[in-house]
Amino acid sequence: MADLAKITLTVAGVMGAIEKVGASLPAFIDLFNQVIDAFSEDDQATLKDALEQARKNADAAHSAAQAAAKGN
């Protein structure tokens, strides 16, 4: 099984990655590769779970961004 922790985002990790994006192309490629290298070709169940988790993370991040935009 791939290590799902590899794609779990922490605030510090996100900010570190964001700070590098734009300033350093290799940094973003590293982030991209960390995501895609977390899984083997035949690890379908894990991929499905990871995609579902990624969707939930994105939904939560959108809600948080919109709440913060409203000053909540």
Partner 1 sequence: MNKLFTFVLSALALASLTACTTPTGGTGLGSSPGEYADLTVADERAAIAVETGYTAAAQALALSYRVGLVSPSVDLDVQRPDFCTYVLAGSYTPSDRGGRLAALDCRAYDAVTRMRRLYDAGQADSFAVAAAEALALVRQLVADVKGN
65 binds partner 1 (CB under 8 A): yes
Tell me how far, at minimum, the Cβ of 1 lies from partner 1, in Å.
15
Closer to partner 1 by Cβ: residue 3 or 51: 51
**What burial letters (b/e) apply to 20-56, b meaning 16+ CB within 10 Å?**
eeeeeeebeeebeeeeeebbeeeeeebeeebeeeeee
> What separation, in Å, do the N-terminal and C-terminal C-alpha atoms of the chain show?
39
Place of tokens 């985002």: 9
Q: Which of residues 4-63 bind partner 1 (CB under 8 A)?
A: 7, 9, 11, 14-15, 17-18, 21-22, 25, 28-29, 32, 35-36, 39, 41, 44, 47-48, 50-51, 54-55, 57-58, 60-62
The nearer residue to partner 1, 5 or 68, going by C-beta atoms, is 68
